[in-house]
């Protein structure tokens, strides 16, 4: 029976990693892998996490099962940073559970939506590739709309039209900040409008907040999420700590459910527990425990926020240097300066992306998506020159 399984295409990003590793050129540039890097090219363990792990090593007295909900201390400690410090539960209307990374959170949020009767999901494109893969695997219908215009700004007309066309019982997936792969985010005024449109239409918002703190700051990056939640009766939120705590391989995430009334929350979460039990049984504990210990310690919180500031400032510096280049061949570099987070798309053809790799040793996804943290003060000029060369040819 297993011979019925057909060969699947290799993951393009994993293949790119292998190609980069095998390239002997000393000045090669890796812009493919979506992890933060310092100006020296390292992806360090946060100092706050090191301190929390030391404390965990000294105090943890059991490795017994936690259950499908995971570390609820972690889930609740995170909530004031996500939903606001005044009342992060919105009067008991919000609660959550731990998931294996942001991917697990997205998967569980969409599975909960399907179990609740959602059949169709609206999503701006392009989006993180795994979004569409999860939607397809769950058997949901996907309807796309353009996230941005050619000028590198949000395409609000396309979003308005999508919401207008959506039917009763539909859901819409929105990036909370630091859009992957475009880096093009909604402004606060646009979030205000979106919140009103969703309220009027009665759509279920599913907000993927995977990069909080990497755009403009923890509070600033939560504006859109909080604005939507202030208007709608129900929502699902997928959250990742993999990026803003540097816990990529530890897979630390959470899914939150907001219901119209507090007495509905536990019924909704019981479905999340059942789905998690059937999928991964329970999430890994170590990374979430470390995050919990950070968030329970004011000194470690201050250390963490300082480390986030350094990450964000470095990416802003890189983006500023790109924008200062003006143009590179036929590519306008100025919009990169106003975009947010780890990712942006350089408008190159597949042939030009290949030329970047073969001729200049610059590795990026076939779509032209780059991880701006792969650029440093030492290699930006080479990158800009390479873009100019392949687009001028």
User: Which residues are annotated as catalytic?
Assistant: 128, 208, 243
Distance of CA 180 to the CA centre of its chain: 6
Q: Is 136 left (phi over 0), alpha (psi -120 to 50) or beta?
A: alpha
Please state, in angstroms and as integers, the Cα–Cα distance from residue 378 to each residue in 27, 328, 382, following that order.
10, 17, 8
Number of helices and strands in the chain (H, E): 14, 13
Question: Measured between alpha carbons, how far is 212 from 215 in angstroms, rounded to an integer?
Answer: 7
Q: How many residues does the chain have?
A: 393
Burial (CB count <10 Å: 0-12, 13-18, 19+), residue 19: middle
Three-class secondary structure of residue 122 per DSSP = strand
Q: Is 177 left (phi over 0), alpha (psi -120 to 50) or beta?
A: beta
Sign of CA dihedral 87, 88, 94, 98: negative
Q: Cβ distance 106 to 130 under 8 Å? A: yes
Q: Cβ distance 228 to 194 under 8 Å? A: yes
* The pair of three-digit structure tokens given for residue 185, joined into one six-digit string: 């985010």
Question: Measured between alpha carbons, how far is 28 from 42 in angstroms, rounded to an integer?
Answer: 15
Question: Measured between alpha carbons, how far is 51 from 306 in angstroms, rounded to an integer?
Answer: 14
Q: Cβ distance 169 to 118 under 8 Å? A: yes
């Amino acid at each position: 029976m297993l011979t019925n399984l057909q060969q699947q295409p290799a993951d393009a990003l994993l293949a790119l990693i292998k190609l980069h590793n095998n390239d002997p050129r000393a000045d090669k540039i890796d812009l493919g892998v979506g992890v933060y890097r310092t100006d020296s090219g390292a992806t360090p363990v946060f100092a706050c996490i090191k301190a929390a792990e030391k404390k965990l090593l000294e105090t943890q007295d059991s490795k017994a099962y936690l259950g499908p909900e995971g570390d609820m201390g972690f889930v609740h400690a995170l909530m004031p940073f996500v939903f606001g410090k005044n009342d992060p539960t919105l009067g008991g209307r919000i609660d959550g559970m731990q998931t294996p990374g942001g991917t697990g959170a997205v998967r569980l949020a969409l599975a909960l939506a399907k179990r609740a009767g959602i059949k169709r999901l609206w999503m701006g494109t392009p989006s993180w590739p795994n979004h569409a893969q999860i939607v397809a695997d769950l058997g949901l219908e996907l309807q796309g709309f353009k996230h941005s215009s050619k000028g590198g700004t949000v395409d609000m007309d396309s979003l308005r039209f999508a919401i207008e066309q959506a039917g009763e019982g539909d859901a819409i997936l929105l990036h909370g900040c630091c859009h992957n792969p475009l880096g093009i985010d909604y402004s606060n005024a646009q979030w205000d409008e979106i919140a009103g449109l969703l309220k009027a239409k009665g759509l279920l918002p599913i907000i993927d907040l995977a990069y909080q703190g990497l755009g403009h700051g923890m509070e600033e990056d939560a504006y859109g999420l909080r604005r939507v939640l202030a208007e709608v009766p129900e929502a699902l939120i997928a959250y990742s700590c993999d990026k803003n705590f540097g816990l990529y391989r530890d897979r630390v995430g959470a899914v939150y459910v907001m219901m119209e009334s507090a007495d509905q929350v536990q019924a909704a979460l019981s479905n999340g527990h059942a789905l998690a039990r059937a999928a991964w049984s329970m999430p890994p504990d170590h990374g979430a425990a470390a995050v919990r210990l950070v968030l329970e310690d004011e000194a470690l919180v201050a250390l963490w926020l300082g480390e986030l500031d350094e990450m964000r400032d470095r990416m802003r510096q890189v983006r500023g240097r790109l924008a200062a280049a003006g143009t590179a061949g036929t590519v306008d570099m100025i919009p990169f300066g106003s975009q947010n987070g780890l990712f942006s798309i350089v408008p190159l053809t597949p042939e030009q992306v290949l030329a970047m790799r073969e001729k200049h040793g610059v590795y990026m996804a076939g779509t032209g998506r780059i991880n701006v943290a792969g650029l440093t003060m030492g290699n930006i000029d080479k990158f800009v020159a390479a873009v100019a060369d392949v687009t001028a040819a």
